[in-house]
Structure 1
Amino acid sequence: MNIGAVDHIEFYVGDAQQSAFFLCTAFGFRVCGQIGPETGCPDRRSLLLRQGGIDLVLTSALTAEHPAARYVAEHGDGVANIAFEVPDAAQAFALAVQRGATPVEEPTTHRKGDCEVVTAGVLGFGDVGHRLVQRGADRAEFLPGVMDMFAEDPDGTEHLVHTVDHAAVCLPAGQLAGTIAFYEKVFGFSVIFEEFIEVGEQAMDSQVVQSASGKITFTLIQPVAGRKPGQIDDFLARHGGAGVQHLALLADDIVAAVPALESRGVRFLETPGAYYDELEGRMGRPDLRIEDLRRTNVLVDQDHWGQVFQIFTRSLHVRDTFFWEVIDRHGARTFGSGNIKALYEAVAREKTTA
């Protein structure tokens, strides 16, 4: 199946306007379009947020029958759909269903003037769907005839982040192998990285699958049965099953992006000083200055191709589930295997010497 990049990510949320206010204020997104009663859709309110090449759709139910109402009641605010760019939505839909995917939206053509977009949808993991989107190069009309677009913001030139790098997905124990097989068979993804992680008495299995285009990446994680419950178990319990734990947004300069985001109100996790004290001895001198990494709490790891720098936000969700990651790749194509273990050990050392 010919799959391009992520077309957009749709969140189901309790209050689309409130969620949009936070993402615009803190992350620099801008509201570019809306769907609602005034556009002929009385059952929902959807807002389109854009920054760089990232399109986010925030949807709130206006009736009890809309799927967003059930989703938010069961999971709280979260990712409900990760949409894929495809050259032919009807063909991709038929092939996906033939390969075993559950259909959720028959191919539909949306038109306004000369602009045409075709969408279809299938189920992915848990109750997160994949919308298959066929559109031309012009994205001025996101969903023609359905979404009203706003005039372009003349000040919309600053991009703190610009691309969806990957989505991290938490799965119940025992579902990892089946989920990988599903993405390999239905969408032609392949495994590009795998890791068994032990943190004290906790353990988790992680495998990364990627589309043939290399533009869509899912990190799939399951807890290891029989071990002490950890953060993945906590997510599954609070979220109510499988779901997207975090989305990683790509930045060109993470050392500059982090302070800028912090000044807007984004709260990041802190990294103990011992992590940076041992960094050069663990992996050599990184591309970015250790003093800058320490100041910004940015983590660094590496694979065969280069280094990857990353930092995680604190979750602002009432269930303490979904959060964001900011990531900066210096040649790395996958993920290193040292960050979680090294960070855990650094925390332990710092507590011992405190």
Structure 2
Amino acid sequence: MKIDHVHFYVRDATVFSDWLVNILGFQRVASGSSHHTYTEVVKSGSITFVISSPLTSTSPIAEFLRLHPPGVADIAFLVEDLEAVIENAIAQGNQVVKLPQEQLQRQGRLKWSKIPSWGSLVHTLVERDGICEESFFPAQLNWITNTADGKVPSLSREANQVNNNPQTMFTTIDHVVLNVAAGELERAVNWYQHVLGFCPQQIFSIKTQQSGLYSQVMVDSTGEVQLPINEPTSANSQIQEFLDFNGGPGIQHIALRTSNIVEAIAQLRGRGLPFIEVPSSYYSELRQRPGGSNLPLPTAEWEEIATREILVDWQQQFPQALLLQTFTKPIFGKPTFFFEIIERR
């Protein structure tokens, strides 16, 4: 299993697509309309975002936006055997939003279905046979207009190569984080474990004066997809704030992986993207942690990391394996969805 694409529901798909292209460096690859919804598709490396906004009040995006602020409505997974996954989901007592459907194309076959997850979040399950994952999406089947010459747009090999060139800022999705209500973590973990075959990994308990949460990391059987699930443990928790403003459970953030976080943050700050603030005392305290004085970071790079306000983490037994990360401010105004920028060494 891996993430096939992420579907955002927003008020204006063009505005958000422009933001992804101009700020995060994505490339616009397709767009089109159904009778009630306008959709654009953008890519960076292996990351594909599908962005939809309503054209009429009957659009499913309009219904979503009546209940929630803009954000992620669908994490689509690429699976090897769609029928087996759906059969297991039904056996586990799960509903199916859309029964398996199939579309034959000249270059192969696309099969897909859709199941509900937590809150309004759904998972489209996609099986591709001969169709490159970047070239065709279920949402496109409802298009009556598009940017090409009356044909459903698809990516050429040349476009795919451009998206994977060394200048691409973000190469893949590192992980996606789901927030659920207090008391729902165990049920959510069991659902992903038994319905989609995820395995529980690390569990974290974090408590500060400003926040409190439990977090269970879930990983699919191939190790390709990481899905931490959070629940709040205090009324002032950042997770509870998200739930209140989001109107219930949902995707809190997506971590975008880069091969050079120092350069990426420099570019993003230069384009006006705001990030969380990190106090200068953080870096002096970091040196006091076990292994902190022996980190594999040259002095010049350490200074750049501090200047860019990038967080640094490692496991005590493996100080040579570094995790470098930071977080944007909320993307849609309210304290809901944001991006994480991450580099693993």
Cα 1:87/1:201, change in 2 over 3 Å: closer
Q: 1:209 aligns with which of 215, 218, 225?
A: 218
Contact 1:188 1:212 in 2 (8 A): yes
Give the length in aligned residue pairs. 321
* Residues 50 and 203 (structure 1), Cα distance of their counterparts in 2 relative to 1, 3 Å cut: same
Q: Runs (4+) of structure 1 moved beyond 6 Å? A: none
Q: CA deviation at 1:174?
A: 0.6
Residue 247 of structure 1 corresponds to which residue in structure 2?
254
How far the C-alpha of 1:53 sits from its partner, in A, is: 0.4
Pick from 254, 273, 295 the counterpart of residue 280 of structure 2: 273
1:142 aligns with 2:159: no
1:318-347: CA deviation from partner (whole Å, max 9, x where unpaired): 3231110001112xxxxxxxxxxxxxxxxx
Q: Distance in 2 between matches of 1:123 and 1:228?
A: 27
Aligned to 1:233: 240
Find 2:51's aligned residue among 33, 50, 58: 58
Q: Is the 8 A contact 2:2 2:78 kept in 1?
A: yes
Q: How much has 1:300 moved relative to structure 2?
A: 1.1
> What TM-score results when the alignment is normalised by the length of structure 2?
0.87
Out of 8, 27, 30, the residue aligned to residue 30 of structure 1 is 27
Q: Is the 8 A contact 1:286 1:300 kept in 2?
A: no
Check the 8 A contact 1:168/1:220 in 2, yes or no: yes
Post-superposition Cα deviations, 1:149-174, rounded to whole Å, max 9, x if no partner, equal 36765965321011111111111111
Q: Which amino acid aligns with 1:25?
A: N
SS at match of 2:332: coil
For residues 144-196 of structure 1, give each alpha carbon's deviation from its aligned partner in whole angstroms, at most 9, with x where no partner exists: 87342367659653210111111111111110010001111111111111111
Q: 1:126, CA displacement in angstroms?
A: 1.3
178, 184, 209: which is aligned to 1:175? Answer: 184
Q: Give, in angstroms, the shift of residue 140 of structure 1.
A: 5.2
Deviations 1:214-236 (A, max 9, x none): 11111111111xx3412111111
What TM-score results when the alignment is normalised by the length of structure 1?
0.85
Alpha-carbon offset, residue 205 of structure 1: 1.0
Q: Is the 8 A contact 1:166 1:248 kept in 2?
A: yes
Q: After superposition, what is the alpha-carbon deviation per residue over 1:72-104, rounded to whole angstroms, capped at 9, x for unaligned? A: 121111100001111122332222222232211
Instruction: Give the match for residue 21 of structure 1.
Output: 18
Q: Distance in 2 between matches of 1:83 and 1:222?
A: 23
Partner of 1:350: none
Q: Cα distance, 1:112 vs. partner?
A: 2.7
2:320 maps to 1:323: no
User: Secondary structure of the equivalent of 2:281?
Assistant: helix
Paired with 1:172 and 1:199, the residues of 2 have a C-alpha distance of 19
DSSP 3-state at the match of 1:302: strand
Q: Residue 8 of structure 2 aligns with which residue?
A: 11
Shift of residue 138 of structure 1? 2.3
**Shift of the alpha carbon at 1:118?**
0.9
SS at match of 2:239: helix
Q: 1:34 to 1:89 in 2, by over 3 A?
A: farther
Q: Percent identity?
A: 30
1:125-156 CA-to-partner distances (Å, cap 9, x unmatched) read 11111111111362352238734236765965
Distance 1:137 1:214, change over 3 A: farther
Contact 1:101 1:124 survives alignment (8 Å): no
Residue number among 200, 205, 215 corresponding to 1:196 in the alignment: 205
Q: Which digits, 9 at most, give the CA deviation of each residue in 1:262-315, with x for residues without a partner?
A: 223322112100000111211423333421210111111123553211100011
Q: Does 1:161 align with 2:157?
A: no
- Distance change >3 Å, CA 198–CA 6, structure 1 → 2: same
2: distance between equivalents of 1:128 and 1:81? Answer: 6
| C-alpha RMSD of matched pairs (Å) | 1.9
**Structure 1 residue matching 2:177: 3-state secondary structure:** strand
Q: Does 1:219 align with 2:222?
A: no
The within-5 A match list for 1:23-102 is 23-36=20-33, 41-102=34-95
Residues 49 and 56 in structure 1, CA contact (< 8 A), matched pair in contact too: yes
